[in-house]
Amino acid sequence: MMKSIGAIAVSLLVALSSQAAVVITVETTDLTKKKAPTEIGRISIDGKKMAMRGKDAEEVPQMIFRGDRSVLYAINPKAKEYLEVDKAMLDQMGGEMDEVMKKMEQRLADMPPQQRAMVERMMRKQMPDANKAANPMSKPVVKRTEQQKEIAGYPCRLYEIHVDDQRIREIWVTPWSNIDQGREAFGIFAELESFFEGLMDAMKNSPFAGAMENPFDQVSKIDGFPVLTREFKDGSATRESLFKSVQTLELPPAAFEPPAGYAKRDLAKEMKKHQPR
């Protein structure tokens, strides 16, 4: 009898500590490979909390965003470690990057012209993306088209994303009303858009600033739920993600926290190791 009461108590405790989350399942395919396996991912959203993980809701997430804390966790399951990025970290990174670039520019200015040219060539080889800083990526332009068709049972309209008149992405969108809790769930992506704008602003003086793109900056410009998204490079589709389902699941609070036992990396310390002396 006591054992049964104990089991019931544990079950009630688990139920009370769990929370209902909207879980969106997406299939992603690498179109550059023949017979490429389809990857199944899940996006769990509970108000201002979001976690991205594999097909199993119990798997370790690759990314967690806590809009209620304005913090993002990038998780490395193989190394069992995670990186925490928040506003304080962004401000610190921005200040340190400014200092690094000032020191680098001063060192280059003090070098003889021939030595300076040699160092600059070495930097271009070691950091090819840094070359884009002088010619930063243009702002993506969202184009709403008149093309419509049914995808996965949903009536969709095509939106195209262009950079310098080149199509880099297409998104087939269905009205919010066709997806249960779709608009409510996707509200967090507007916060992600703002968060990544802060990240890009903090890194604006980085050698890689020109190559950076806010992956969520088109969310607020598209009216509807994305059913099919295709990425393009040089005119050819390279990757596509297809919406499969949405459901409500009970998830424990730990589903939106870095896994227990994982080590926290200190990005600020790692950056300092590579600063010019």
Q: Assess if residue 234 is contained within a domain.
A: yes
- pTM of model > 0.85: no
Domain count, the chain: 1
pLDDT of residue 58: 64
Which residue positions in the chain have pLDDT lower than 70?
Answer: 1-19, 55-58, 91-137, 203-215, 267-277
Q: Assess if residue 69 is contained within a domain.
A: no
Q: What's at 98, amino acid-wise?
A: D
pLDDT, tens digit, 9 for 90 and up, residues 14-30: 344 466 899 999 999 99
Separation CA 125–CA 198 (nearest Å)? 29
Q: Assess if residue 145 is contained within a domain.
A: yes
Separation CA 41–CA 99 (nearest Å)? 40
Q: Assess if residue 204 is contained within a domain.
A: yes
pLDDT of residue 221: 83
Q: Assess if residue 54 is contained within a domain.
A: no
pLDDT of residue 168: 93
Q: Are 200 and 209 in contact (CB under 8 A)?
A: yes
Q: Assess if residue 118 is contained within a domain.
A: yes
What are 19's strand-pairing partners? 251
Domain that holds residue 184: 85-273
